[in-house]
Amino acid sequence: MLPSHSPGDSGYISRGTPVYRRVSIAFLAAGLVIFANLYAVQPLIPAFSSAFGRSPATASLALSASTFALALSLPVFASLSDWFGRKPVMLISLFSSSVLQFAVGLMPTFWTLVAARALEGFALAGLPAVAMTYLSEEMDSASLGFAMGLYISGNTLGGLLGRVLIGVAADHTSWRIGMMMFGGVSLILSAYVAWSLPTSRHFVPRRDGVSDILSRFGHAVTRPELDALYLVGGLLMGGFVSLYTYMGFRLARAPYHLSTSVIGLLFFAYLAGTFSSSFMGNLADRIGRHRVLPLNIAIMAAGAIVTCARDLAAIVLGMVIFTFGFFGAHSTASSSVGSLGGAQRAQASALYLFCYYVGSSVIGSLGGLFWADMGWRGVIGMILAAQVLASAAFLFARRKLRAA
Query: What Cα–Cα distance (Å) separates residue 13 from each residue in 86, 97, 155?
Result: 16, 29, 21
* Percentage above 70 pLDDT, the chain: 95
Give residue 166's pLDDT: 79
Please give the CATH architecture assigned to the domain spanning 18-196+212-403.
Up-down Bundle (1.20)
| CA–CA dist 65, 402 (Å, integer) | 37
* DSSP codes of every residue in 22-71: HHHHHHHHHHHHHHHHHHTTGGGHHHHHHHTT--HHHHTHHHHHHHHHHH
Residue 48 scores a pLDDT above 60: yes
Residue 404 scores a pLDDT above 60: no
Residue 2 scores a pLDDT above 70: no
Exposure b/e, 77-98, CB count within 10 A at least 16 = b: bbbbbbeebbbbbbbbbbbbbb
Per-residue pLDDT tens digits for 333-384: 988 887 787 777 778 888 898 899 899 889 988 998 999 999 999 999 999 9
Residue 9 scores a pLDDT above 60: no
Average pLDDT, integer, range 27-34: 86
The pLDDT-based confidence of 285 (bands split at 50, 70, 90) is confident
How would you class 396 by CB atoms within 10 Å of its CB: exposed for 0-12, middle for 13-18, buried for 19 or more? middle
| CA–CA dist 50, 196 (Å, integer) | 43
Per-residue pLDDT tens digits for 59-101: 889 988 998 899 888 888 888 888 888 999 999 999 999 999 9
Give residue 135's pLDDT: 84
Per-residue pLDDT tens digits for 142-191: 777 667 776 777 777 787 787 788 778 777 778 788 888 888 989 999 99
The pLDDT-based confidence of 205 (bands split at 50, 70, 90) is confident
| Stronger pLDDT, 181 or 295, i.e. the higher one | 295
User: What pairs with residue 13 in β-bridges?
Assistant: 139
- Contact yes or no for 156/270 (Cβ under 8 A): yes
Give residue 235's pLDDT: 97
Residue 1 scores a pLDDT above 60: no
Residue 8 scores a pLDDT above 50: no
Average pLDDT, integer, range 231-237: 95
Give residue 151's pLDDT: 76
Comparing CA positions, the residue from 175, 183, 173, 165 lying closest to residue 264 is 165
| CA–CA dist 193, 216 (Å, integer) | 30
Residue 4 scores a pLDDT above 60: no
| CA–CA dist 200, 146 (Å, integer) | 19
3-state secondary structure at position 192: helix
The full set of domain ranges for the chain reads 18-196+212-403
Average pLDDT, integer, range 29-37: 87
Give residue 208's pLDDT: 66
Residue 389 scores a pLDDT above 60: yes
* pTM given for the model: 0.76
